[in-house]
């Protein structure tokens, strides 16, 4: 009986953990200090997702919120490369949201600094 329960629990866990696409890489990297402004924002996912929203927020000095235009990025993809807006030195957060293949919203953030 224990083996059956363990097998069922494991199969349920793997179904949950693999049902949503995961972010595998992001640029600018989290918690990195750059000496010059990165040229792009890049997100890489395990499977094809629909990118819904990206916000770039300056969190130091004169704080500001920069909305990233996603009109060019309407198709599902594993990799998104967006040009970095003109930003000044300071600390920033990138907040992103995407729709996974199974219809669930996935989201995350990356924090970086430009000297």
Domain count, the chain: 1
Q: What is the CATH number of the domain that holds 33?
A: 2.60.40.1220
The model's pLDDT over 3-62, given as tens digits with 9 standing for 90+, comes to 554 444 444 443 444 457 899 999 999 999 999 999 999 999 999 999 999 999 999 999
Q: Is residue 5 part of a domain?
A: no
Q: Is residue 32 part of a domain?
A: yes
Residue 21, pLDDT score: 83
Domain that holds residue 105: 21-114
Confidence at 67, pLDDT banded by 50, 70, 90: confident
Q: Is residue 107 part of a domain?
A: yes
Q: Is residue 89 part of a domain?
A: yes
Residue 80, pLDDT score: 98
Residue 8, pLDDT score: 44
Q: Is residue 1 part of a domain?
A: no
Q: Give the helix/strand (H/E) hosting 16.
A: helix 2-19
List C-alpha distances in Å: 57 to 14, 16, 79. 35, 32, 22
């Amino acid at each position: 009986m224990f083996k059956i329960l363990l097998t069922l629990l494991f199969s349920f866990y793997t179904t949950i953990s693999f049902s949503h696409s995961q972010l595998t890489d992001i640029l600018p990297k989290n918690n990195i200090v750059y000496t010059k402004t990165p040229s792009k924002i890049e997100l890489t996912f395990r499977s094809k997702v629909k990118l819904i929203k990206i916000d770039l927020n300056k969190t130091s000095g004169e704080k500001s919120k920069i909305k990233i235009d996603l009109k060019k990025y309407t198709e599902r993809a594993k990799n998104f490369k967006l040009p970095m807006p003109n930003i000044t030195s300071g600390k920033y957060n990138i907040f992103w949201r995407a729709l996974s293949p199974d219809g669930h919203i996935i989201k995350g953030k990356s924090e970086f600094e430009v000297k």
